[in-house]
Amino acid sequence: MPGIEQSPCSLAFRVDSDSFGADDLATSSPEARIRTRARALAGMQKEAIVQYSPTGEIWRVVCDEGPWLNGTDLAPFPLAFFTAGLAASFLSEYMAEALQRTIPITALEIHLDNFFTMEGSALKGTMAAHADPVQVRFVAEGDASALEFANIGEVAVHERSVANAALREALASTFAIIFNGQNVSKVNNETVPLFDTGDPRELFDRCMPDSKFPAVDNILRKVASDTETSAISDPVGLQPTQKRTVHVATRGHVRQDGLKEISVQCIQPAGSRFVFLSDDSEDAGGQGRAPNGITWLSCGVAFCFMTQIGRYAAIAKQKLNDYRIVQDTGFVPFGDRAPSASPVKTLVCLDMAESVNACEHLVKMGEQTCYLHAAYRKSTEIRVC
């Protein structure tokens, strides 16, 4: 499988939906459905094609891991996508709440810190991921008191944001499996839901940039490397027994052109820094010049789950030849009712020289050790300070 190094494309671009052939994701409710198709590339690299139902826009993005997971560090790690999505969502709702109160905002920043833990033995089946409370701080300038700015932040996160809704409720993810081309009807003795799409294997080669869409440079880019981790010879993330904490620091601001510019870096373990651009979609009053917050967030969930699939297979020495997923996420935005989110629904396509039981166990361990499915499966608090 070719890697990011061989691609002439940028790390993120808008896809020509006419040539790609988008799915019909329309719903009768105000729900925004996001379908993420992702596949493994070389090493720990991954590629995703993400469709946003209200506007039909499609984005192609790539992901990598740092040396801690034996990656090449050429694109952001999965948790970076998720935390950038959180920051973009919160910034958008802060601006919307201020506009509703007719309070002009001349500058707005967000400081967001996420902490995740991993503990247990992969080979004994006890390894599990955990998401700690998210810490958020806004820095705003404009014609309002500090008390009102603080209240806008609380309302933006806790009352308006669909990203917060996704973490506030305990949402149990569901999975279906295609194993060597055959449907697996049960996973862990539970009947799995039918999926309205099949294996996405052939779709990735049809993914071309949209020449009709005004391009925004550097939607996704690496801006700083961590030299201390570049020479790691013993990737800690691939050890069969884990007890560690991951700290991801995210800083963002709203630019003069309305785009959100979000910088993400893994602090523990130390990693490189990446910058994401985000824009509200046209249905939400934006221009759709870059993926919106819940699109970036959905990418992160897909990429993190795929990393855990590949990681567990490597630790358990399973013969995993290739793997792909189709993931559906759904969000009802703030409006006449409170925002809400649906459970993550995933179709996992595995090509592997193993038994059906081994295939099912791989998916179980992938979910159990995924930091972001952990954030979904229980109520994860967001603290605005």
pLDDT in tens, 143-171: 999 999 999 999 999 999 999 999 999 99
Rounded distance between C-alpha atoms, residue 320 and residue 27, angstroms: 36
> For the whole model, what pTM was predicted?
0.95
Q: What integer pLDDT is reported at residue 30 of this predicted model?
A: 87
What letter represents residue 40's amino acid?
A
Q: What integer pLDDT is reported at residue 216 of this predicted model?
A: 85
Q: Where are the alpha helices (DSSP H) in 11-170?
A: 17-20, 78-100, 146-155, 162-168
Q: What integer pLDDT is reported at residue 234 of this predicted model?
A: 61
Give the domain extent around 56: 4-384
Candidates 239, 237, 206, 204; CA nearest to 349 is 204
Q: State whether the Cα torsion 210-213-214-215 is positive or negative.
A: negative
Q: What integer pLDDT is reported at residue 304 of this predicted model?
A: 98
Q: What integer pLDDT is reported at residue 225 of this predicted model?
A: 82
Over the Cα atoms of the chain, what is R_g?
20
Q: What integer pLDDT is reported at residue 215 of this predicted model?
A: 74
**Burial of residue 19, with CB atoms counted within 10 A of its CB: 0-12 exposed, 13-18 middle, 19 or more buried:** exposed
Task: Give the residue ranges of the chain where pLDDT is below 70.
Answer: 1, 27-28, 185-195, 226-234
| Strand partners for 253 | 109, 261
Total of domains in the chain: 1
Rounded distance between C-alpha atoms, residue 103 and residue 96, angstroms: 10
- Burial 33-51, CB ≥16 within 10 A → b, else e: bbbbbbbbbebbbbbbbbb
Rounded distance between C-alpha atoms, residue 224 and residue 18, angstroms: 36
Q: What integer pLDDT is reported at residue 194 of this predicted model?
A: 56
Q: What integer pLDDT is reported at residue 186 of this predicted model?
A: 58
Rounded distance between C-alpha atoms, residue 350 and residue 199, angstroms: 10
Q: Which residues contact 357 (CB under 8 A, 6 or more apart)?
A: none
What letter represents residue 232's amino acid?
I
Q: What integer pLDDT is reported at residue 270 of this predicted model?
A: 92
